[in-house]
Amino acid sequence: MITMPFSKKEKKFLLGLARRSIVHYLEKGERLKIEPSEVPSKKLIETGACFVSLHVGEELRGCIGSLEAHQLLVFDVIDNAVNAAVNDPRFYALTMEELAKVKISISVLTKPVPFPVDSPDDLLNKLKPGKHGLILKQGWNRATFLPVVWEQIPGKEEFLAHLSVKAGLPPDGWKNPKTTYQVYEAEEFSE
């Protein structure tokens, strides 16, 4: 599993890799292939999980990621960059013309761990804005917010209400005793 934090050189490489991956896919319709010799750090060819987010101005334009590490971090960046650009079901596929306006962000995640709580109040007390990414699950319904989402939704109850709705639950779904949680942290960096 990946260790954090990343150096400026590693961050720059990963952000450049994400952009190159999108350009390559839009031009050729295939996944970018890279050689280990191109990667500036052994850390980047360890197993890791990331999310790649695309923004135009302040507006989200795509965000796809992996909650669990299942492949080398560089491959996760390649796959998630392309998927954020063309396979996020909330948006139409990105075009080459739009790509010039897109700012890319990457969040590299720690391994999610169970976050047991006894009550809604216990959850509110334990949850740390800006630090915790949260996975909410109730039956088949599941959703996550990255730690960076706290910048847009700083209030804990509002954050949990929006996350419940994202999971397909009513806004107070987070208060249901059948709801379970996992937390993770992330190192986030942008172009």
Return the structure tokens found at 58.
């302040």
* Euclidean distance between CA atoms 155 and 174, whole angstroms: 14
Average pLDDT over residues 42-64: 94
Whether residues 33 and 98 share a domain: the answer is yes
Return the structure tokens found at 112.
């999610």
Q: Is residue 2 part of a domain?
A: no
Q: Is 91 left (phi over 0), alpha (psi -120 to 50) or beta?
A: beta
For 117-132, how does the pLDDT look when each residue is reduced to its tens digit (9 = 90+)?
999 999 999 999 999 9
Domain boundary pick from 64, 94, 109:
109
- Amino acid at site 18: A
Of 153, 149, 141, 145, nearest to 180 by C-alpha is 141
Whether residues 21 and 33 share a domain: the answer is yes
Average pLDDT over residues 73-90: 97
* Euclidean distance between CA atoms 40 and 24, whole angstroms: 20
Whether residues 103 and 120 share a domain: the answer is no
For 158-178, how does the pLDDT look when each residue is reduced to its tens digit (9 = 90+)?
999 999 999 999 999 999 999
Q: Which residue has the higher pLDDT, 113 or 37?
A: 113
* DSSP one-letter code for 68: S
Cα-based angle 181, 65, 147 (whole degrees, multiple of 5): 50
Q: Is the dihedral of CA 32, 37, 43, 46 positive or negative?
A: positive
Which range of residues forms the domain containing residue 161?
Answer: 113-190
Whether residues 98 and 121 share a domain: the answer is no
Whether residues 27 and 71 share a domain: the answer is yes
Whether residues 14 and 105 share a domain: the answer is yes
Whether residues 34 and 48 share a domain: the answer is yes
Whether residues 17 and 104 share a domain: the answer is yes
Average pLDDT over residues 12-41: 95
| CATH, residue 118 | 3.30.1490.150
| CATH, residue 83 | 3.30.700.20
Q: Which residues contact 115 (CB under 8 A, 6 or more apart)?
A: 126, 132, 134, 181, 182, 183
**Number of domains comprising the chain:** 2
Q: Is residue 165 part of a domain?
A: yes
